[in-house]
Amino acid sequence: MFYSRDKVEQLRQRYPEGTRICLDSMENDPRPIPSGTKGTVITVDDAGQLFMKWDNGCSLSLISGEDRFHVIQPEENLSEEMQETENPSEELEMHMSM
């Protein structure tokens, strides 16, 4: 799927570098990224593909209109970061109490 220059520019404005994405589904790929995986947009190429750095280490691109995904809002990012930082302290408390 190729997009016009205008459509590619719209995608670049909508998904600038650093945008956090959550994948809903990737159905047309023989080895898809699992649904629910989160990642960060690296860039949008001239064909309109979103180059991604997935949190699971993969780098498969997203295709707008083919793959289903949504932007993780800043509040969701903050909540996600807080959960990650809360878990180590809980483990530390468990080890201290033993």
pLDDT tens digits, 45-60: 999 999 999 999 999 9
Question: What count of other Cβ atoms lies within 10 Å of the Cβ of residue 39?
Answer: 24
The H or E element that residue 23 is part of is strand 20-25
- Name the most confidently modeled range: 7-16, 27-36, 79-88: 7-16
Of the pLDDT bands very low, low, confident and very high (cuts 50, 70, 90), residue 80 is low
- Give the pLDDT score at 3: 86
- Who wins on pLDDT, 81 or 9? 9
What residues have CB less than 8 Å from 54, skipping those under 6 apart? 33, 37, 38, 39, 60
Of the pLDDT bands very low, low, confident and very high (cuts 50, 70, 90), residue 94 is very low
Per cent of the chain over pLDDT 90 is 62
In contact, 67 and 26? CB cutoff 8 Å: yes
